[in-house]
Amino acid sequence: MMLIGYGFAHAQNATEDDHAKAMRLSLEAGGMKIKTYPLYSKDYGPFLLKLGFSPVIVVNYIPRKGDIRVFQPYPGGDPEGHVDMYTGHQWVSDFKEDNFWPSAKYKKYHPSFKVYKWLSK
């Protein structure tokens, strides 16, 4: 069984704008063997599919430990987008998030996002 999510143990209380790196380190800490990876958070969707993750329908969605969200950029925001993982208690990227939206700007603009789940093989 994969133990994903434990790579976020050093997440800060505020962002350091390195969400993609935090995600890669978390996946590696969970046992994933990663040779190439996306540089930008917004590009993690196809990468996760190749690793064996499956997309989740977000209607009536309840997060589960290990779920990963990939956000596209919002207008005027960071062009890299955002990626985070649910620890079972909160969403975490390179920082610990307070609620469903990673920041006030994401909450304001509601950019598109997808959720991915690891399905054990």
* Nearest alpha-carbon partner for 96 in 13, 8, 5, 4: 13
The average confidence (pLDDT) of the chain is 85
Q: Residue 19 and residue 25: Cα distance in Å, rounded? A: 10
Task: Say which residues have a Cβ less than 8 Å from residue 8's Cβ, sequence separation at least 6.
Answer: 22, 26, 85, 87, 92, 93
12-64 residue pLDDT tens: 444 456 788 888 888 888 888 888 999 999 999 999 999 999 999 989 999 99
pTM equals 0.85
CATH of 6-118, one of 3.30.70.260, 3.90.1720.10, 3.40.109.10, 3.40.50.150: 3.90.1720.10
Q: Residue 29 and residue 23: Cα distance in Å, rounded? A: 10
Domain residue limits, the chain: 6-118
Q: Residue 121 and residue 119: Cα distance in Å, rounded? A: 6
DSSP 8-state assignment for residue 96: B
